[in-house]
Structure formats: structure tokens, C-alpha cells
A and B are shown apart, each in its own frame.
Chain A
Amino acid sequence: MITAGIDVGAQAVKVVIVSDGKVLARNLLPTGFDPQESAQKALDGAIHQAGISRGDVKRIVATGAGRKSIAFADRNITEVTADAKGANKLMPSVRTVIDIGAEEARGISCDAEGKVIDFAKNDKCAAGAGAFVESMARALEIKVPEMIEISLKSTKDAPINATCAVFAESEVVSLIHTKIDKADIAHAVHDAIASRVASMVRRIPIDKDVALIGGVANNAAIAEAMKKHLGVDVLVPENPQFVSALGAALAAAA
């Protein structure tokens, strides 16, 4: 059976189409102001990529912050459930899933079948999410890819103690004024995010293997910092930003 999963995130809509557990297509578009329209376009694009027709997609499950706005979905599930299902499919040995998206981070403890045992989320806070990295890149007047690159070269720890994105930004500005190297500031920003996410994830049992997913998992500097703060290796699957949509597509087939 062919099914689709749609992850309506704060910044991007991700669509995955699967057929009997095999991924046929992936597509990603900005969420924009009309999540339903963006989701429809992303789905159409994925269908085109897969070389199938809309009628071939037998069931659609939506997930993500905007999941309830997708009227054409057959049902919706939360990101927590979708993350665990998707991560389990890609990495069956994973028992702890950390998803860092644009606006939210969460840690999920799951069993061998990908069933959620416990989870923790950050509340109303951007300090542990992707939007914060982008905002800090703007403060440093560089692009995110460059910020990641120079961060990985840094060997110094600059101090950023803030648990709040707003205050952290002012700390970064202070560091710029005190002529701290950009690479060290970039490193400090990633370190601060990882520290915050790790402390949130510690509310749940952290069992191996640990996977990092979500758009921010593409940021190698964050992945490195997460390893340091959790004291364990962190697995990052290919296309980590699509894991939740994959979980939704698999849930649609269940």
C-alpha cells in the first residue's frame, strides 16, 4: 500500500511517500502562511517525483505543529509518535530520539518497536532550537553553513550562559565587542544549544543508541556538541529532517 506522511513544521513542510515501508519520494517546501496549500504543493511534488498519481496514495497522515490544519489528511498524529516510528524504521537499535526543529526540541525514549515510553519537550523557548542558530548567524553576519564550518574548527570555549535566546543574543553581541574570534563564538552558540537540549533530554532515560533528527541534525557542529554534552555517541540518519514525515507515512500504513 502506498501512503504519505506530511510533517507540517514551523519553517518547512516535509512529505515522504512510502510503499510497503520503502521510501518512494521526499519533498520539502517552506511552510509559509498557508500550511494547507504548502502541504498540498509538497505532496503534489512528491507524487510527481515518485511517478505515481494522487489516487495511488491510499492514506495520508499529518504530523508536526500544523498537522491539524491539513484537512485532506486522513488523520494526524503528534510529532513525538511520528519521530519514534520514523527513527525506529531507519535505526532499529535507537532507544532515545532527539529531534531539534526550527522552533522546538524534544527527547523521546522508545522501545524496540518504536513505541514511545516517555518524552520531554522544551516549552515556549527558542534557545534550544534551529531558529536560534539562524538568529545568531545573523548576529555574526555570516550564513549558517559558514557558521557550522568555522565552529567545527574552533578549539576554545567562549562563555554563553543564557538559557534564553534573547539574552544569549546580547551575550553574543558582547563577545563580538570584546573581539572574540567568530569561530569561537559560533562554537559557543552551538555548545549553548546542545547544553540546553541535553539538560531537557535528561528528564527522560537516555538509553543507547541515541539518534539526532530534525532539520538541525544537519548541523554537524550541533551533533558534535550533543555528543559532548550527553557523553554518548549520537547517530544522525540521512535526511534527518524527513524522519517525522516518514514516521507519519508508516503510521498511515499501520
Chain B
Amino acid sequence: MTTQLKYKTKALDCWQWGKELRLEAYQDLVTGHERGKLLILGCAASPYGMLAGLGDFVFLAGEPYGASVAADPPFSIPCMEAYEAKGYARDMCGYMRNFLGSMFLDKYYFTGGPFPKFDFAWSVRHCPAGHPKWHQIVADYQGIPMNYIDDETMLTCEGDQQHRIDYVAGQYLDSIEWMEKVTKRKFDDEKAIEAMRNYFRNEALWGEINLLNSAVPAPLDIKSYFALMPIPMLRRHEKVATQFLETLRDELKDRIAHQIAAVPNERYRMCMLTPPPWSFLKIFRYLENFGVVFVGTYVYLINSGEVKFLYDENRVIPAVVPEERPGWPRMKNREDLCRTVARWRAEHPFQSHLDARKKEFHIIFRHWNGNAYLLLLNRGCVPMTTSMYDFQRDLQKDGIPVSMFEGNFADCRDIDETGVLDRLEAFLEGQGIYKLRDAAPGIKE
């Protein structure tokens, strides 16, 4: 046994609080109606803080729900089967299949009780075609209204930016009127502005937390990171999320100052671009036996989080909230709110053009002091898999070691766990990284 713990480690002090906040968000969907809250369905990338203008609400983002279900195969497999029994194709979005199956079975994962009935669906149209269709199926099945903001136009860098912002801001204004009509509630601009301020602040905080993992040893491992992520993903319009994320950030800074590691035998740092297969999170614990720590994944740096990439300087820094940016107005009314949200999304790295995105992969890798990337050819998400071979080549050209495997982030039946671990072991051996506890005396690790 040659395993040596290089660093001291301990659990996060705020861990229990984080778990409670996460569970509250999901349980709120069950009890929310009884307490007069609106239950609203949408995409996690939507600026759902705006919904606070209608009063108290609970927002169920389908993606994290699909991911939570995916992490529990005994619950997920019947959901997948129920979805397929309705005649829907197996090669669609994996999150959607878990979500819809759960709805068809009328089983809500977090309680085992009935699936929530939403008041309406409202979202930005992220993931072309797939997610709006997902919510359309829910709307048809539950008989609820739905409204979508077409902001795919933001994904292009061609044409007039101002025109695009006008176009999207106009849709937000229209959707507020639509929401007033379907809920028969008056939209309170001030409440919506306040919630969006929280939302911007929390995105910037989550981005800042991500960036702190540049420290060696990394203060936060990716499994804990994923466990806490529902807070910035589902509750980023709330003050309590700000309080939690500030506490987490400060704790991570303290861990960095005292060299407290997430993985005590850290010696090799890996980064990801996308989510992992959620049923296969043991991959991270397993690779800790090799001294591997996963320091971050690009997708959640810019989805639920916000950072500022300085392309010319090859640097990334924490984001500043819109109202503190030079030339941005302070939001005073509904029009300001809608224009700020539209402009903010237009300039958000979530909307990065492909060439900029590729540059961002390199910048964040260097920032995180990475040793290698692990890429997933995700059968459960076409947009997250498109261009993956191109990304691999691009990273390798820059001398970055890359390992890639095939699987599905939401369907445990679609992954060969033994094969993936074998592939990763071979990759790590090529990097001179052997399993620590298997090493015989005298063998150089």
C-alpha cells in the first residue's frame, strides 16, 4: 500500500444546509399549491426570476428533475419504459424521457406521490426544438397553457445586436401580458426586478465558486458540486440562495487558505465539458483511487453560473451583475427589466458562438490548472454531443490530453460502466497515473 494522503480534508461545513435547500425546492412543488404558490414548468436556463412578478411561485426546471431521476435507475427505468410505451422515440432527450415517464406514471421522484400539476409552462426556447416539444407534451397532457420566448436568435453573432435585443425584449413584454391573462394576477414589476437582481447575483456567485477551483488542491470535488448545483439552478431568484452561495464561497476561500482538499490524494486534475451520466457518479469516487480530482465542468460554469471570458488575455474572471456594468441602466420598470434580461442573455457566455466556445474550453482548462479533459459522447443529448470530435481535436492540437467515452447522461441502460472504467484506466496509465492502492511496494507511482 503506497497510498499517501497529501492534503488534509473535511466535509463542507455548509453541506447540510445545502442539502436542506435542495430538498426544499423539490418538496415545495408538492405543497406549493396549498400555500398559494404558482407551479411553473420551464427550462433551467430561463430567467425565471421574472415570474416573481406574479407573486410566490415554484419553478420546476425539467432538466435537473430528469437528472435526479436518472441518478436512481430503479426509478428511472420504469419511467423510460412508460415513456416508450406511449410510442415516443428512445433517441430523444434523456432528461425529457425521465420527466415524461414520471408524469405518465404519476409518480413524483422526491415524494413517491402524485406528479405535480403545473399552472403553466413558460420558458426560453433553449435546445432547439427538443425542450419546447417536451413542454408541449406536458401542456397537452395536463391541459395547461404554455408560452415560449424565441431567443435562439441570440446564438448568432451575425446581424444587428440591438435589433435582436428589441425582438426578444418585446417577447418578454408580451409574455408578461400573457401570464397576467392566464393567471388572472397582476404582474408586480418591482417584485420581478428584485427577484431578477437575486438571479443575476446568484449566477455571478456560482460562477465565482466555479473559478475558485483553480486552487491546488481543489477545495470542491465535482460530486459535491453536482449535489449543490440544484440551488443555483432552481433557486437563483431567491435571497436565501445568495446567503448560501456567499457562505459556500467564503468557506471555499477558507479551505484554499488552509490547503483543505476535496480529494486528499489529489495529483491529477480533470475537467469536463458536459454533465456526467447521472447513474454513474461512482466514476468520480473510483478515479479518486488514482488521485484524480474532477475540478469542474464547463456547462455549469455558464449554465446557472456566469463568468466573464477575456478572450484576448486568455483569462476568465467573475462576472459583474448587469446593473453594475458600465453603460447598463438601473432597472426601474417593466421595460427596463425586459431589455436588461434580453441584453444580459445576448452577452452571456451561454450564448457563445461556436468559435468563442472552443476558446472558452481552453481558457477554463488553463484556469482550473487541468491535466486532461474527459468528454462524453452523450446519446441522451444531441446538442451536447454535436461537435464533440471537433472539440477533441481542437483540445488535442493544443496539447491537452483528452479521453472520450460514449454513454447517456439520463439512461443507465445506455452505458457500459466496466468498459468506460477500463478505457479511463488505460488513458490514465498512458498519463503515468496508476491506481494508488494497487501499487506494489517499490513500484513508482
Flag if B422 contacts A124 (CB, 8 Å): no
Contact residue among A59, A65, A77, A123 (Cβ-Cβ distance under 8 Å from B429) = A77
The stretch that binds B, out of A14-22, A112-120, A126-134, A219-227, is: A112-120
Chain A's nearest CB lies how many Å from the CB of B282?
A: 15
Q: Report the bound CA distance from A76 to B443 in whole Å.
A: 12
Partner of A119, one of B406, B426, B435: B426
Q: Which chain A residues border B434 with CB–CB below 8 Å?
A: 75, 77
- Counting CB contacts under 8 A, is B10 at the interface? no
Contact in complex: A81, B438 (CB < 8 Å): no
- Chain B residues near A65 (CB, 8 Å)? 422
Least CB distance from B378 to A in Å reads: 14
| Complex contacts, A74 vs chain B, CB 8 Å | 440
Q: Check B416 against A123 for contact (C-beta < 8 Å).
A: yes
Known: A123-B406, A123-B419, A124-B419. A80 touches B430 (CB 8 A): yes
The reply to whether B440 and A75 form a contact with Cβ atoms under 8 Å apart is yes
Which residues of A lie under 8 Å from residue B435 when comparing CB positions? 75
Whether the Cβ atoms of B429 and A119 lie closer than 8 Å is: no
B425 part of interface (Cβ distance < 8 Å): yes
Q: Among A75, A115, A124, A254, which residue has its beta carbon within 8 angstroms of that of B430? A: A115
Contact A78-B425, Cβ < 8 Å, known A123-B406, A124-B416, A124-B419? yes
Given known A81-B426, A115-B430, A116-B429, contact A75–B438 (CB-CB < 8 A): yes
Q: Which residues A62-83 have CB closer than 8 A to chain B? A: 65, 74-81
A119-B430 in contact given A75-B438, A78-B422, A78-B425 (Cβ < 8 Å) = yes
Q: How far is the CA of A121 from the CA of B426 in the complex (A)?
A: 11
Chain A residues with CB under 8 A of B440: 59, 74-75
Q: With A and B bound together, what is the CA distance between A117 and B426 in angstroms?
A: 11
| List of B residues within 8 angstroms of A116 by Cβ | 426, 429-430
Cα-based distance from A115 to B422 in the complex (angstroms): 17
**A124–B379 Cα gap in the complex (Å)?**
15
Residues of A within 8 A of B419 (CB): 123-124
Q: Which residues of A contact B427 (CB under 8 A)?
A: 119
Q: By the criterion CB–CB under 8 Å, are B430 and A121 in contact?
A: no
* Residue of chain B at shortest CB distance from A74: B440
- Most A CB contacts (10 A, CB to CB) among B416, B422, B426, B438 go to B426
| 0/1 interface trace, chain B 406-437, chain A, CB 8 Å (1 if under) | 10000000001001001101110110101100
Alpha-carbon distance between A80 and B419 when the two chains are bound, in angstroms: 13
Cβ–Cβ contact B429 & A254, under 8 A: no
Shortest distance from the beta carbon of B208 to any chain A beta carbon, whole Å: 35
For the complex formed, measure the closest distance between the CB of B434 and the CB atoms of chain A, giving whole angstroms. Answer: 8
A residues less than 8 Å from B240 (CB atoms): none
A124 to chain B: which residues have CB within 8 Å?
Answer: 416, 419
> On chain B, which size bracket covers the interface?
10 to 19
In the bound assembly, the distance between CA atoms of A119 and B416 in angstroms comes to 18
Using A123-B406, A123-B416, A124-B419 as known contacts, say yes or no to A75 and B426 having CB atoms under 8 A apart.
no
Q: How far in angstroms is the closest Cβ of chain A from B89?
A: 20
A173 to B380, CA, bound (A): 35
Cβ-defined contact, A78 with B416, below 8 A: no
Least CB distance from A238 to B in Å reads: 25
Closest to B377 in A: A123
- Is B439 an interface residue, CB under 8 A from the partner? yes
CB of A254 within 8 A of CB of B443, answer yes
- Tell me, rounded to whole Å, the shortest Cβ–Cβ distance linking A110 to chain B: 9
List CB contacts (< 8 Å) of A153-182 with chain B.
none
Closest residue on chain A to residue B422 by CB atoms: A78
The residues of A that contact B429 with a CB separation of less than 8 Å are: 77-78, 80-81, 116
Looking at the assembled complex, report how far the CB atom of B174 sits from the nearest CB atom of chain A, in whole angstroms.
Answer: 48
Contacts of B432 in A (CB 8 A): 115
Decide: A117 and B406 in contact? CB cutoff 8 A.
no
* B443 CB, min distance to chain A CBs, angstroms: 7
- Check if B430 sits within 8 Å of A81, measured CB to CB: yes
Taking the nearest CB of chain B, how far is it from the CB of A62, in angstroms? Answer: 10
Q: In whole angstroms, how far apart are the Cα atoms of A59 and B440 in the complex?
A: 9
Contact among A79, A115, A123 with B426 in the assembled complex (CB-CB below 8 Å):
A79
Residue from B416, B426, B444 within 8 A of A80 (CB atoms): B426
For residue B41, give the distance in angstroms from its CB to the closest CB of chain A: 36
A75 CB contacts on chain B under 8 angstroms:
434-435, 438-440, 443
A254 nearest CB neighbor, chain B only? B443
In the assembled complex, which residues on chain B have CB atoms less than 8 Å from the CB atom of A79?
426
Name the A residues within 8 Å of B423 (CB-CB): 121
Q: Which residue of A lies closest to B439 (CB)?
A: A75
Shortest B277–chain A CB gap in Å is: 14
Bound CA–CA A202/B444 (angstroms): 33
Contact residues of A with B, CB < 8 Å? 59, 65, 74-81, 115-119, 121, 123-124, 254
Seed contacts A81-B426, A81-B430, A119-B427; 15 additional CB < 8 Å A-B pairs: A65-B422, A74-B440, A75-B434, A75-B438, A75-B439, A78-B426, A79-B426, A80-B429, A116-B429, A116-B430, A121-B423, A123-B406, A123-B416, A123-B419, A254-B443
Q: Which 7 A-B pairs have the closest CB atoms?
A: A116-B430, A80-B426, A78-B426, A74-B440, A81-B429, A75-B438, A78-B425
18 contacts between A and B (CB under 8 A): A59-B440, A65-B422, A77-B434, A78-B422, A78-B425, A78-B429, A80-B430, A115-B432, A116-B430, A117-B430, A118-B396, A123-B406, A123-B416, A123-B419, A124-B416, A124-B419, A254-B443, A254-B444
